[in-house]
């Protein structure tokens, strides 16, 4: 015999109303899932449902308590593969605008660089001829021209590298920080305290009395519910 859905709601409301510990995330206390104190927080902030804590850590992509900075024993796995994360990153409106502006800069810079290279290569013979007129040797003119081309190419490569880094670095940090967190909790945390155990027994006793059960039936009900509370997997 187990508590009905209405009785469970009554028990939950009664536990909260008498000032018992509640989950600091969902602000409820239910017999369906015990409260645990997995970090160094004290007082009313010490208790939390494991499912609520995991959901909060996954939403915030953290593996530590934001209040006491306690590092939870957790397993972190990447939420997305790199192609999927890159697709999500690009489709974001803010990132898409940044990518479009950087692509425009890259296109204009490429056109200017290619134009300078073509002018230098095609005009090298003219530069040599004009240099001879003023007494500059052919090798010196070629050296200066190639040096100028080298500066242009290095500047182009450096600018493209910075543009790419400006786009890839934020994406990479976001991809690595977006993880699924699965807590590894000590089973001892699920053992109820004496106060919560007595409170739990008193609440079931009151519900059993309201249903006018015989003492024997009430005691059997208490034992069954307590075993379910202590050993939920059995």
Mean pLDDT over the full length of the chain: 75
Q: Average pLDDT in the 141-156 region?
A: 90
pTM (2 decimals)?
Answer: 0.55
Alpha carbons 143 and 148: distance in angstroms, whole number:
9
Residue 91 to residues 4, 71, 97, 101, 173: CA-CA distances in angstroms? 48, 33, 10, 15, 17
With bands split at pLDDT 50, 70 and 90, how would you rate the model's confidence at 223?
Answer: very low
Q: Return the residue matching tokens 């804590």.
A: 53
Q: What is the pLDDT of residues 56-67, one digit of tens each?
A: 888 777 788 888
**Selected residue with higher pLDDT from 161 and 2:** 161
Parallel, antiparallel, or unpaired for β 35-36 and 74-78? unpaired
Q: What is the pLDDT of residues 14-23, one digit of tens each?
A: 343 334 678 8
Query: What was the pLDDT predicted at 201?
Result: 53
Alpha carbons 76 and 83: distance in angstroms, whole number:
19
Name which of 30-34, 110-114, 120-124, 134-138 the model is least confident about: 30-34
Domain boundaries, the chain: 83-177
Query: What was the pLDDT predicted at 29?
Result: 76
Q: Are 179 and 76 in contact (CB under 8 A)?
A: yes
Q: What is the pLDDT of residues 105-118, one digit of tens each?
A: 999 999 999 999 99
With bands split at pLDDT 50, 70 and 90, how would you rate the model's confidence at 51?
Answer: confident
């Amino acid at each position: 015999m187990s508590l009905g859905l209405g009785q469970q709601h009554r028990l939950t409301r009664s536990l909260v109303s008498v000032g018992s510990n509640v989950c600091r995330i969902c602000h409820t206390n239910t017999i369906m899932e015990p409260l645990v104190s997995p970090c160094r927080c004290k007082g009313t902030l010490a208790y939390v449902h494991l499912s609520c804590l995991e959901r909060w850590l996954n939403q915030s992509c953290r593996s530590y308590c934001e209040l006491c900075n306690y590092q939870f024993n957790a397993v972190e796995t990447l939420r997305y593969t790199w192609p999927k994360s890159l697709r999500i990153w690009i489709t974001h409106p803010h990132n898409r605008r940044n990518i479009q502006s950087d692509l425009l800069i890259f296109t204009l810079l490429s056109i200017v660089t290619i134009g300078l290279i073509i002018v230098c290569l095609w005009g090298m013979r003219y530069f040599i001829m004009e240099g001879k007129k003023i007494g500059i040797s052919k090798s010196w003119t070629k050296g200066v021209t190639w040096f100028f081309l080298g500066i242009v190419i290095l500047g182009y490569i450096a600018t493209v590298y910075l543009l790419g880094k400006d786009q890839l670095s934020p994406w990479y940090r976001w991809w690595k920080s977006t993880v699924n967190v699965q807590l590894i909790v000590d089973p001892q945390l699920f053992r109820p305290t004496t106060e919560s155990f007595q409170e739990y027994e008193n609440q079931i006793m009151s519900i059993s009395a309201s249903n006018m059960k015989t003492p024997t039936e009430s005691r059997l009900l208490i034992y069954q519910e307590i075993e379910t509370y202590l050993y939920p997997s059995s």
